[in-house]
Structure 1
């Protein structure tokens, strides 16, 4: 673990150190956290889209920007609410950045990009069309504006909140019974599956090889982020890595439309 001081904030005292004696319960709780968070986000976006239709000013760009923003806010509220009732050790790692932190960030981004490229190489020969996300579909109308808003929101809102929920709360809860490797693996699978609604709203075929490959890449990236979180004990570092990776994807998508 990183020996430098970290800021650890929890909603109370977590269980005593060591693995919890009821792994079945922990797995059930972790699975429920993953399922409820993703389902809630989906229903919020769907509900906002239906509300627009009802009010007569349907805009898919608004569905993405506002509905997606509300869905992300839901993830934060859901995670904080769970912590309120059931404490989990969450390490925020708020400190002055060090050269070691910079090394983790550069290394994490580099490794994640390499993993994404390798997954792409494997999937391309079997590809059956592009996997379109909600952001890609929404940006068609005004790519510069939408992707600019998305970029800012990603850095200050989306990446930190997703890392707080997935790596901080859920991975932290699973770690209590299963240790870091299993906790990272389970959370990464849930992290990938939690992105299915993005492809659903984007109009992609959810059983296509392209979507499967995209989810595989997201899961692999989630594993990298989870491992770095365990080593550094810093949500700040993994949030920065996550934000940079998303920004790279947003930049590539914008260039493709200009």
Structure 2
């Protein structure tokens, strides 16, 4: 293969993952608006269950784009690598989970913390919504598809770092949309976390590892609050 062909293929892959990322963000925002409109229309805006689902609603948008992408790819399952954790996978998960308290803080007044303390049923809702749908969908898009596609064309380090940067960048419009956090700091922190999750995926080749750690980070403010409550 000539140098031109190599560079051309590299460019095509870069454009491909940029497109997937961009469409993922657009789909996430559309789903957010759609769920918000449906909730208001149905008078469910104050529903605790709906609020928990909507907290991870961007994952539903990612899922739509991921499914669409996988349907047009040959051997799509190579981008969806979920398997039973090995001892090495468990070691990675335990090691990364030990750092979660350093990246999070207890939130006693958080609506999720309140919901979990009032009703054990909400634990099932959180697990089903976040651990089984929203976070896996995000991991399939970012680590499975974006990082996986880059990994096919570039060195592992390039794939991990590039996917992490895109992971951070895709949270900028989401931060602007929500208006609750600073977009720049959100992008930087998210990119760093993405680098760690991407490294774990590169080492284990199992999306269960980054998914479990990622989902635990989502619920960590409540877990840390309960852990520190006498």
Instruction: Give the TM-score normalised by structure 1.
Output: 0.67
1:185 is displaced (CA, Å) by 1.7
Unaligned 5+ segments in structure 2 are 1-5
Distance between the aligned counterparts of 1:57 and 1:237, measured in 2?
A: 34
1:32 is displaced (CA, Å) by 1.0
* 2:131 counterpart SS class: helix
Contact 2:201 2:210 in 1 (8 A): yes
State the Cα deviation string for residues 78-112 of structure 1 (Å, max 9, x = none).
212212212353262513x4332221111222356
More helix by share: 2
Cα gap change, 1:235 to 1:47, in 2 (>3 Å):
same
Distance between the aligned counterparts of 1:177 and 1:185, measured in 2?
A: 14
Distance between the aligned counterparts of 2:217 and 2:198, measured in 1?
A: 15
Instruction: Spell out the pairing of 1:25-174 with structure 2 (5 A cutoff).
Output: 25-54=12-41, 58-59=45-46, 64-68=51-55, 71-87=58-74, 89-90=78-79, 92-95=81-84, 97-111=85-99, 116=103, 139=112, 144=117, 148=123, 149-174=125-150
State the Cα deviation string for residues 95-150 of structure 1 (Å, max 9, x = none).
3x433222111122235655x37xx9xxxxxxxxxxxxxxx5x6598574697433
Residue of structure 1 equivalent to 2:165: 189
CA RMSD, 1 decimal? 3.6
1:173 is displaced (CA, Å) by 1.1
Report how many aligned residue pairs link the two structures: 216
Unaligned 5+ segments in structure 1 are 1-18, 121-135
1:181 is displaced (CA, Å) by 1.6
Distance between the aligned counterparts of 1:85 and 1:113, measured in 2?
A: 40
**Whose relative contact order is higher, 1 or 2, with alpha carbons under 8 Å and at least 6 apart?**
1
Contact 2:101 2:224 in 1 (8 A): no
Contact 2:167 2:191 in 1 (8 A): yes
Residue number among 185, 208, 216 corresponding to 1:236 in the alignment: 208
1:255 is displaced (CA, Å) by 8.3
